[in-house]
Amino acid sequence: MRLAGAIAAAATLLLAGAVPAQAFDPVREAANVAKGGEREQVWLQPGYQAQLGLESQRTQTEAALTAARDPERNFLTDLCNSKGLACAGDIRLNQWQAGGHGLVERVLWTARNGSTVAGRVWATRAGARKRPAIVITNGSIQASEELYWYAAQTLAKAGYVVVTFDPQMQGLSDTYGEGGDRNEGFPSQTAGNTFYDWTQDAIDFLLSSPAKPFCARPSRSGTSHCAKQDRRVKSGLNAAYNPMWKLVEGHRIGIAGHSYGASGVSWMGQQDKRVDAVVAWDNLCDPAQAPGTGTPLEGKGCSAGAQGPPRLVSGATEES
């Protein structure tokens, strides 16, 4: 199933309850592939390419200014730190709020290893007073959050609150953690922590509120970096909690992931009982087997990066 179909599946699962798996349909697959090609035809137009060049210059300048204003952040060696060209996604989606399509808030929070995470929260102005919510976890190479905005905006228009973020070593999220946890999760594609730990951190941020401000769980070394989060909140840099917390119905939470992120959500969906639905945009792992067991592409254990033994839905317990 292609991404458009997977998004529809996520909406169905959370709003209407679980549905039986569907067999592969070549006609539907061809239609999804053709739909994906429609954007490419736009991207190839000279006018779009000219605008992409201007947008890329703007985002590159913005990244440099961000680093200068917030010098403790360390993202300038990240893939896609400039957010331009091939990392820009579909620049037509940049006008989501300005064009009156919905609401988006840029947010920063401190991950469990002490890294600063750059993300966004999405929703629509109109809609239910309380809404189900979804966290999207990216892939590991040239996969900044912009490449997943099409999914975030589609889901927001379908009635969800959505959290997107840059993984470690991607976009505007930090390459390194803090203090003794500086190298926790580095390099991200090999260690893999970000696709597991940061998914759960993003769920925690999603469910944060004024009554329960965000504070990441301890790092793998057992160190708490809440002091950094609090300091940055007091300095007006980090978000103390999800700015759209009033919209979130905390009992209907989904997670969706692509590539390495698919491994992360496949595993974390079995570990965290708050998760009601999982959509993996790649068939990369079997969450019933321990991470690193065999090769994910062979349908075996999830990629490296998770903690603990396999735990299926029937026995899931929230790690808190």
pLDDT for res 17:
52
Residue at 93 is within a domain: yes
Tens of pLDDT, residues 143-177: 899 999 999 999 999 999 999 999 999 999 999 99
Question: Exposure string (b/e) for 189-217, b if CB count within 10 Å is 16 or more?
Answer: bebbbbbbbbbbbbbbbbbbeeeeebbbb
Distance (Å, whole) CA 229 – CA 115: 10
**Pairing relationship of beta strands 161-165 and 116-123 according to DSSP bridges:** antiparallel
Side by side, the strands of the sheet bearing 275-280 are: 103-110, 116-123, 161-165, 131-137, 248-257, 275-280
Residue at 293 is within a domain: yes
| Range from 14-18, 56-60, 99-103 carrying the lowest mean pLDDT | 14-18
Mean pLDDT score, 86-99: 92
Structure tokens at 117: 């995470």
Distance (Å, whole) CA 121 – CA 177: 23
Residue at 318 is within a domain: no
Range of the domain at 18: 3-312
Residue at 172 is within a domain: yes
Q: In this model, does residue 313 exceed pLDDT 50?
A: no
pLDDT for res 186:
96
pLDDT tier, 38 (very low <50, low <70, confident <90, very high otherwise): confident
Residue at 13 is within a domain: yes
Residue at 319 is within a domain: no
Distance (Å, whole) CA 102 – CA 258: 24
pLDDT for res 4:
43
Mean pLDDT score, 195-205: 97
Domains contained in the chain, number: 1
Distance (Å, whole) CA 209 – CA 104: 17
pLDDT for res 94:
94
Residue at 317 is within a domain: no
Q: In this model, does residue 296 exceed pLDDT 80?
A: no
Q: Is the dihedral of CA 245, 224, 143, 284 positive or negative?
A: negative
pTM here is: 0.87
The most confident of the ranges 45-54, 297-306, 307-316 is 45-54
